[in-house]
């Protein structure tokens, strides 16, 4: 394997983990032909097939399984070295690898902007993907820190609340329920509904909320992005429940309305998290301290929105092990 590169191993690891060339290409910001070419070179170099495709599914061959294990060892060693090297440089230089859920993209880049102004030498890698994949990355210890909604109890991680994440009911501005007060939840479940993709935290919280009220949503459409859902609402395809943060900055102002529905907003929170026992780099630790003050930097995202429900204040920053 003398001529195999780290890049080829990264591509291989992503395909093996995600069991998909397409998803690996997306995650690594590469085109599909590039991904296929890297794997072809790696396979030629090793001289054994690494994947086999049965129907639409991809499986690892025995050689593939072995290489997958080897990759984890290699990447762990490199990450450990990067941490040592970056700690040697202090906050003047170093790398911060963050993975955040889709909805956190409405505020994370802004927070990073302020952080990077303070520490211009720091190099940031930001992965934005849905809750299910962020959890996979956390379990595999692929990044320094994670931003997501509450963690499942079975995951052994340190997690701490740093910001509110109210979920609200959004409708087109000309919807007959706009300006109605205290709309019963049942009335919402009668409307055509647009739901996020499975694996999304927003979807999970929404489904849980309606099932706790013994109501079934009339799902008209599933869409994999908050932006696409907002456009679909404006297009009159239905209503939805999304984070209030999705209205930040570039909301199609005037086209969307937050409905005043009983029980809303659903009070969700943003957590930063990392696997229990992980030793944080100096850079990751500095970012974590900075996140604890995120609500000061994101004043416009605090909860003075047009819903009737109260908005919880930031919870205290007590560290929780979930």
List interacting residues with ligand PGA (CB under 6 A): 101-103, 130-131, 148-149, 165, 196, 200-202, 268
DSSP per-residue codes, 241-252: EEEGGGGTTT--
State the minimum distance, in angstroms, from the CB of residue 251 to ligand PGA. 17
Give the shortest CB-102-to-ligand PGA separation in angstroms: 3
The smaller minimum CB distance to ligand PGA, of residues 200 and 307, is found at 200
* Closer residue to ligand PGA (CB): 108 or 200: 200
CB of 196 to ligand PGA, least distance (A): 5
Closer residue to ligand PGA (CB): 87 or 197: 197
Strands 218-223 and 192-196 come out as parallel
Element (H, E) at 322: none
The nearer residue to ligand PGA, 246 or 281, going by C-beta atoms, is 246
Phi, psi of 235 (to 5 degrees): -75, 0
> Nearest to residue 100, comparing CAs of 262, 287, 280?
287
Q: How far is the CB of 29 from ligand PGA (least distance, A)?
A: 19
Q: Which residue is nearest to ligand PGA (CB)?
A: 201
Give min distance, CB of 288 to ligand PGA, in A. 19
Short-list 124, 130, 122, 123, CA closest to 105: 130
- Cα torsion 249, 124, 144, 9: sign: positive
| For ligand PGA, the closer CB: 130 or 281 | 130
* Residue 13 CA: distances (Å) to CA of 16, 19, 55, 241, 319: 5, 10, 21, 35, 33
Answer for the pair 280, 241: CB distance below 8 angstroms, yes or no: no
Least gap, CB of 219 to ligand PGA (angstroms): 16
Q: Which residue lies nearer to ligand PGA by CB, 8 or 102?
A: 102
Structure tokens at 81: 């070295």
**From CA 255, how far away is CA 235, in angstroms rounded?**
9
């Amino acid at each position: 394997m003398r001529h195999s590169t780290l890049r080829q191993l990264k591509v291989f690891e992503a395909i093996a983990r995600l069991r998909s060339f397409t998803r690996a290409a997306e995650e690594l910001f590469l085109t599909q032909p590039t991904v296929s070419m890297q794997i072809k070179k790696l396979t030629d170099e090793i001289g054994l097939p690494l994947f086999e495709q049965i129907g639409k599914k991809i499986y690892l061959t025995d050689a593939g399984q072995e290489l997958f294990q080897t990759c984890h060892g290699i990447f762990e060693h490199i990450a450990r070295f990067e941490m040592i090297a970056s700690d040697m440089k202090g906050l003047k230089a170093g790398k911060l690898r963050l993975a955040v859920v889709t909805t956190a993209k409405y505020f994370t880049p802004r927070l990073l902007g302020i952080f990077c102004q303070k520490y211009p030498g720091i190099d940031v890698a930001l992965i934005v993907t849905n809750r299910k994949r962020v959890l996979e990355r956390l379990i595999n210890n692929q990044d320094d820190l994670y931003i997501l909604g509450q963690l499942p109890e079975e995951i052994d991680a340190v997690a701490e609340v740093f910001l509110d994440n109210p979920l609200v009911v959004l409708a087109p501005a000309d919807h007959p329920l706009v300006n109605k007060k205290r709309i019963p939840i049942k009335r919402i479940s009668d409307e055509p509904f647009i739901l996020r993709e499975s694996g999304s935290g927003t979807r999970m919280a929404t489904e849980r909320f309606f099932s706790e009220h013994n109501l079934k949503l009339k799902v008209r459409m599933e869409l994999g992005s908050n932006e696409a859902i907002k456009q679909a609402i404006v297009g009159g395809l239905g209503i939805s429940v999304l984070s209030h943060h999705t209205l930040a900055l570039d909301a199609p102002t005037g086209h969307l309305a937050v409905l005043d529905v009983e029980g809303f907003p659903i009070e969700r929170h943003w957590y930063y998290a990392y696997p229990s026992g992980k030793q944080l780099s100096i850079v990751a630790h500095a970012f974590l301290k900075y996140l604890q003050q995120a609500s000061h930097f994101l004043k416009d995202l605090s909860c003075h929105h047009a819903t009737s429900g109260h908005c919880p204040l930031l919870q205290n920053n007590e560290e929780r092990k979930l």
